[in-house]
Chains A and B, each alone.
Chain A
Amino acid sequence: MRDVAIIGIGMTKFGELWEKSFRELGIEAGLKAIADAKISGDLLDALYVGNMSAGKLIEQEHVASLIVDYSGYASRHLPAVRVEAASASGGVAFYEAYLAVASGLYDFVMVGGAEKMTDVGDAESNRELCATADNEWESIFGATYASLFAMMARRHMYEYGTTEEQMAQVAVKNHRFGSKNPLAHFRNTLTLDQVLNSSPVATPIKTLDCAPVSDGAAALVLCPWDHARKFTDTPVKIAGIGLATDTIALHSRRDMCTMDAVVRASSRAYHMAGVAPKQVNIAEIHDCYTIAEIIEIEDLRLVKKGEGGKATAEGVTDMGGRVVVNPSGGLKARGQPAGAVGIAQVVEIVEQLRGEAKERQVQGAEVGLTLNIGGTGATAFVSILKREN
């Protein structure tokens, strides 16, 4: 297996982008990534696209061919693959693209993620998110996606004493970061009181504990590490990757307060990268609900099990803390176009490792991690990215 580098990144604004179609979003992110890599699109050997639910959300399947076509490469008959793994679709597409380059099958690969979620109303986009749980044994009984995370939160509060204030701190932190990100869905800051007083969704989860549904796309250009310096002075190495699965239904998990798939995926990635959790400087993780960030920093072993809430309240994951979590604003503020999330996380880490994150820059960041989960944790993908001078 060869080492693989990221040489190009591109991302659209995330948000309610009514003026832009799915294909326009995908193309915009891809063109930005190609421009950033300073390569010709003719060099690309293949395209991977992460997308959760275009069939339901815009009644369009077969989106990998669609994107190749509207990129102007239909006449080159470029190989193109769509990857679906719920909200981890982007992360798993990245995993597939990495394997394709590492194995030597392809040299230059574009991997993107795209989702158009606001062409339908909230009820329909929420139904799509519910479909990432076990439809026949969770959703049919009235469980919503939020209610499943709410039960994880309730159990975490019961076992570890986590509080609603600690969860709210995640939203406050991530909105403060998002306010500095020009591509974020939400650029407003929040106070603790605003979060705590927002209307209940599924107790103890409130409106401002939830990430929004967004439109958006993000893309990367990958190539073998040995070629990378021909294109950029600041290639970022994919030092480790890990993918893992777990039971589709939350109720069948070994422990509702632990995402075992996150533990496994991160173990695999840490091992491959030769990196210990304490060496991670920045992490972009899957805060679809504030409790998710608290559980995930524990399962990534960035903090001790049960101490995710306390660590958040103490500023361990804030700017200046031991590991800065979600400097982009996370799903909470940067936004949640499901299939694009896993790629957007990588875009942020690459910007940070290159030192190009401007107001959001975490000084001295050398090792970054991304965590993209599907459903309530039935899929988890972790990548570890490194700057190498």
Chain B
Amino acid sequence: MQIPRFWRQIPSRYNLIGVQCENCKRIYFPPRTVCPECHRLSVGKMLPYKLSGMGVVHAFTQIYEPADGFENQVPYIMAIIQLDEGPRITAQIVDCGIEDVKIGSRVEMVFRRLGEDGKAGIIYYGYKFRLCK
């Protein structure tokens, strides 16, 4: 991925910054410029909103045929997480075995290395999730 393309999303990928529509108070992640409920009324009113990083597993899978750059992590667990504030996001679940993951398991965000651009390229960091103790 090109550096600016990653760099411009750093607040969301490092700190789970989404947006809240000032008009209807709904919360979105990733950030959107226009609220799907309020449309034009929301323009300029989508304000940054930091999500707590707490949520539950909505669906999950263990990947054996990896995405590009994830070969050394196989098998790894991907999930769709239902965040407490409402939005759902796609992320890895780490620090556990697949047998410990259930739909409804409580999870929290952790800050981890996502990948890198080859041996000498930049390293990408961002959110993953782990099971709550």
Which of the residues A142, A151, A251 comes within 8 Å of B60, measured between beta carbons?
A: A151
A130-B68, A142-B114, A154-B103 given; 18 more Cβ-contact pairs under 8 Å: A127-B67, A136-B9, A141-B90, A141-B126, A142-B73, A143-B78, A146-B63, A146-B65, A147-B63, A151-B80, A152-B59, A154-B60, A155-B59, A201-B64, A203-B98, A250-B90, A251-B89, A251-B90
Identity of the chain B residue whose Cβ is nearest the Cβ of A154 in the assembled complex:
B59
Decide if A389 is an interface residue (CB 8 Å cutoff).
no
Which of the residues A144, A158, A204 comes within 8 Å of B66, measured between beta carbons?
A: A144
Decide if B58 is an interface residue (CB 8 Å cutoff).
yes
Chain B residues with CB under 8 Å of A201's CB are 63-65
Complex Cα gap A148–B115 (Å): 20
Identity of the chain B residue whose Cβ is nearest the Cβ of A159 in the assembled complex:
B103
Decide if A24 is an interface residue (CB 8 Å cutoff).
no
Beta-carbon contact of B1 and A151 below 8 Å: no
Beta-carbon contact of A251 and B63 below 8 Å: no
Decide if A200 is an interface residue (CB 8 Å cutoff).
yes
Q: How far is the CB of B51 from chain A (nearest CB, A)?
A: 14
Identity of the chain B residue whose Cβ is nearest the Cβ of A156 in the assembled complex:
B59
Complex Cα gap A203–B101 (Å): 13
Complex Cα gap A373–B91 (Å): 24
- Contacts A137-B90, A154-B103, A158-B103 given; does A142 touch B76 at CB 8 Å: yes
Which of the residues A126, A141, A144, A250 comes within 8 Å of B91, measured between beta carbons?
A: A141
Complex Cα gap A141–B59 (Å): 15
Beta-carbon contact of A142 and B59 below 8 Å: no
- Give the contacts of A372-388 with B (CB-CB under 8 A): none
Complex Cα gap A139–B64 (Å): 15
**A residues at B contact (CB < 8 Å):** 123, 126-127, 130, 136-144, 146-148, 150-152, 154-155, 158, 199-205, 249-252, 256
Q: How far is the CB of B102 from chain A (nearest CB, A)?
A: 9
Chain B residues with CB under 8 Å of A137's CB are 30, 89-90
Complex Cα gap A137–B87 (Å): 13
- Contacts A130-B67, A151-B78, A155-B103 given; does A142 touch B92 at CB 8 Å: yes
Q: How far is the CB of A222 from chain B (nearest CB, A)?
A: 36
Complex Cα gap A155–B64 (Å): 19
Q: How far is the CB of A191 from chain B (nearest CB, A)?
A: 22
Which of the residues B58, B64, B103 comes within 8 Å of A199, measured between beta carbons?
A: B64
Complex Cα gap A155–B59 (Å): 6
Binary A-proximity of B65-107 (CB < 8 A = 1, otherwise 0): 1111010010110111000000111111000001000010000
Chain B residues with CB under 8 Å of A154's CB are 59-61, 103
A-B contact pairs, 18 of them (CB 8 A): A123-B68, A136-B5, A140-B1, A140-B114, A141-B90, A142-B76, A146-B63, A147-B61, A148-B90, A155-B103, A158-B59, A202-B63, A202-B64, A202-B65, A203-B98, A249-B90, A251-B90, A252-B88
- Contacts A154-B61, A155-B103, A203-B62 given; does A138 touch B68 at CB 8 Å: no
Identity of the chain A residue whose Cβ is nearest the Cβ of B71 in the assembled complex:
A123
Identity of the chain B residue whose Cβ is nearest the Cβ of A210 in the assembled complex:
B65
Which of the residues A143, A200, A250, A252 comes within 8 Å of B67, measured between beta carbons?
A: A143
Interface centre among B91, B92, B128 (most CB of A within 10 A): B91
Q: How far is the CB of A70 from chain B (nearest CB, A)?
A: 33
The 10 A-B pairs of least Cβ separation, nearest first, read: A150-B61, A151-B59, A251-B88, A155-B59, A202-B61, A200-B64, A142-B70, A203-B62, A251-B80, A202-B63
Which of the residues B67, B73, B79 comes within 8 Å of A139, measured between beta carbons?
A: B67
Which of the residues A140, A144, A152 comes within 8 Å of B65, measured between beta carbons?
A: A144
Chain B residues with CB under 8 Å of A123's CB are 68
Complex Cα gap A80–B21 (Å): 43
Chain A residues with CB under 8 Å of B92's CB are 141-142
- Give the contacts of B39-71 with A (CB-CB under 8 A): 58-68, 70
Chain B residues with CB under 8 Å of A199's CB are 64
Chain A residues with CB under 8 Å of B80's CB are 151, 250-251, 256
Beta-carbon contact of A138 and B60 below 8 Å: no
- Give the contacts of B1-28 with A (CB-CB under 8 A): 1, 5, 9
Which of the residues B30, B61, B70 comes within 8 Å of A203, measured between beta carbons?
A: B61
